[in-house]
Structure 1
């Protein structure tokens, strides 16, 4: 019996199989849970070596194509695409640290990452020490312990725009054979590529600038492919010791790419953080126009920051492109093509002024997201930083009147007109 002579029910399921291959110019979307094996030995070979594709949780052609694309943009050796930016950070940290280990992190990080470190990884026996003055190399060095397994920071911090001295911090990590992990979400690889400055791992919330349109979630880990087993093996026994059943170590099987391979083989699929191939496709499509968008967004953001800085109702503007920002000189050393498009500013009228602002904008959208083609606004003190103490918020530059802007691709003249209209009404509210 063939499919053609089978019953209606069987034909409905199988008649579409056996499509001829076609050379699609766009990345094809392999929206399938699994892949058919050619024969018995093919299945055994896949499970024995990991080569090819068997199940989308462990590998998919669409996902793989986008991983190659993002690794190339970040000057990395390998990339692992995940279901969200939070999944990327969790996977990166669990790739290098385990029970009894320690992480040194910048204080100036995304609140979801901070919660992961304090509330979740701590339950797994992984401790974290936070560095307040990220420009002080001695503070980073003093925080390192014999069991420290990673340094962590953001290239441009959310939300005060502190810029990490990547080369200096990675050099400190190298002294102790400890990898530096950099969250490069706000800067994007268009503005800075941390691996080129010594970072070992880069992570992104691909939901933001990489995808760009606010329509999908995704995350990515990019590894530098420079793991040195002889020099750093004592800090990564899970990479250099034999596996279960006498399996050759990850380092023996993958050499200098052992760290990325471990993330791909042992962390991402086992914790179930794999992305949808459809989301991967949309992230890849977005990344194709990343430079065009980020260049325009950065240029617009700087003009808007300068306009706000000169406004009487604005107390301060934390945009690293302004000469007044304490990290401006560091930004000039690292950022090429712009200063990013996410920044905060503080209104003189405090909380009530901020309330009026977010409820009065028209072109700006009030929502919790960044890196969108649309311009967005959020009040950090009552949203993203609500669980920080007042003293902690003050250290981060988050005050009652502070607002975070994410500048999109609209005409900056229209954005400034919206701001001007709203700020004119602020005076009446706080008078």
Structure 2
């Protein structure tokens, strides 16, 4: 294989992994340990001083987690990655490296409801201020930039409506402002979209969703594209200034194009502590092996279900970028030619009450707060994931009172359509 770059499916199975050197085990072992023995005092000192790479304590790094990190970095086209306990943890660790109290970051208004809540409320206690922009109006991002802006945050495929974001256009705004572009790629996965190829500097995922794929393990990950100069203008002192806890090391100077991933590990994960369990890393690694197969089936099923719903008399509208009539179809063709994802929304003519009623009548679709499972899932966002928002904010985020969100699984599409048909008829 030395004369060619492995394909996506090969990387999904093999990247980061080798047979265990001690036992010959082919599957990556679960290193279920809190800490690791040092060779001697000098070895310990070099690890703690960032002069050598190795294992110290599972809160900071673990060999099972390291395979997961290398695999996702390879799939996303990044230089390095850091696995953490959840997608929310990934967002906290990323922004801790970028923001000081009083700083701002711009976020697309169309986001997962939990992220909207985290950005609007939880981050206020850190003194981090979110400024909202409309991903359908690129100029709104430009207007939102101020001297306090330190980052721009978007989703590649937005939750819950499945709309496609113009990553390249927003990347241009970020470059002009001199700030990194952070892209949550959870709903697309790197099988459909690789944001780094379109100008992203940092990619985050909830590993809980499509990458893990089986609804059995929480996890998050941060991928460093290695594309941003952290020393420019002194905006990012966590990376550009001497670190007193590491004998004055400047992380960008020392670690170059994977300095951000290192900062997230040795400044963020070390002190905030949202470590990913090695067992969960093992489960997610196993899920990633089938990512290409699953994602294609997810997308094919989702398109069939969306087409059915678009023709049903009880349905007012369907928001799925894979439909030729959808306003995001051209962006889907550009960014996600293999498929427009498996999460989308539709509106019912009966409004809020019809949405609540529908989710209670479905039998094959599971009513729960998750996406990206092999099983098909349904939720009424206005009464659950986006319930903390007022009606105007719900509508702006794509989760109006009449909206139902589907995460289409890998079952037989005919069975999914039959379940929807009986529930809509009832």
TM-score (norm 2): 0.92
1:317 paired to 2:342: no
Tell me the C-alpha RMSD between the 2 structures: 1.5
> How many residues in Structure 1 have an aligned counterpart in Structure 2?
405
Alpha-carbon distance in 2 for matches of 1:330, 1:361: 32
1:20, distance to aligned residue in structure 2 (A): 9.0
Partners of 2:212 and 2:277 in 1: how far apart? 14
Q: Which has the larger radius of gyration?
A: 1
Corresponding residue for residue 235 of structure 1 = 235
Equivalent residue, structure 2, for 1:106: 108
Does the alignment pair 1:388 with 2:377?
Answer: no
Decide which of 85, 88, 91 is 1:89's aligned counterpart. 91
CA-to-aligned-CA distance 1:228-249 (integer Å, 9 cap, x gap): 245x352212211112175121
Deviations 1:247-285 (A, max 9, x none): 121112112222221111101221011100000111111
2 CA distance for matches of 1:377 and 1:384? Answer: 12
**Which one of the candidate residues 114, 117, 123 is aligned to 1:115?**
117
Contact 1:105 1:152 in 2 (8 A): yes
1:104-137 deviations in Å (ceiling 9; x for gaps): 11011112211221112222121111012x1322
In the alignment, the residues of structure 2 paired with residue 153 and residue 145 of structure 1 have an alpha-carbon distance, to the nearest angstrom, of 18
Give secondary structure in 2 for the equivalent of 1:269: helix
2:22 equivalent in structure 1: 21
CA contact (8 A) 1:31 1:278 kept: yes
Distance of 1:20 and 1:126 partners within structure 2: 45
1:69: which partner in 2?
A: 71
Partners of 2:166 and 2:23 in 1: CA distance: 47
Is 1:165 aligned with 2:202? Answer: no
Give unmatched runs, 5+ long, in structure 2. 1-19
Residue aligning to 1:214: 215
Matched-pair contact (CA < 8 Å) for 1:156–1:162? yes
1:134-145 paired onto structure 2 within 5 Å = 134-145=135-146
CA distance in 2, matches of 1:360, 1:327: 30
Tell me the SS of whatever aligns to 1:55. coil
CA distance in 1, matches of 2:356, 2:177: 47
1:38 is displaced (CA, Å) by: 2.4
In structure 2, the partner of 1:419 is: 420
Q: Is the 8 A contact 1:233 1:240 kept in 2?
A: no
Q: Is the 8 A contact 2:107 2:131 kept in 1?
A: yes
TM-score under structure 1 length normalisation? 0.91
Larger mean CA deviation between 106-115 and 271-280 belongs to 106-115
The worse-fitting range, judged by mean Cα deviation, of 293-302 and 46-55 is 46-55
Q: Is the 8 A contact 1:233 1:239 kept in 2?
A: no
Unaligned runs of 5+ in 1: 1-18, 426-431
**C-alpha distance in structure 2 between counterparts of 1:397 and 1:176, whole Å:** 28
Distance 1:31 1:238 in 2: 31
Aligned 8 A contact 1:184 1:204 in 2: yes
CA displacement, residues 123-174 of structure 1 (integer Å, 9 cap, x when unaligned): 2121111012x13222111100112110001001111222111111111111
Task: Supply the distance in 2 between the matched residues of 1:360 and 1:112 (Cα, whole angstroms).
Answer: 26
4+ residue runs over 4 A deviation: none
Q: Deviations over 1:339-372 (max 9, x none)?
A: 1000111111223322321111111111111000
What's the secondary structure of 1:202's corresponding residue?
Answer: strand
Question: What is the distance in 2 between the residues matched to 1:215 and 1:166?
Answer: 30
Mapped partners of 1:131, 1:106: distance in 2: 5
Quick check: 2:73–2:80 contact (8 Å CA) kept in 1? yes
User: Does the 8 A contact of 1:318 with 1:344 survive in 2?
Assistant: yes
- Corresponding residue for residue 130 of structure 1: 132
Deviation at 1:332, TM superposition (A): 1.1
Of 179-188 and 346-355, more deviation after overlay is shown by 346-355
Distance 1:383-1:43 versus aligned 2 partners, 3 A rule = same
Deviation at 1:83, TM superposition (A): 0.4
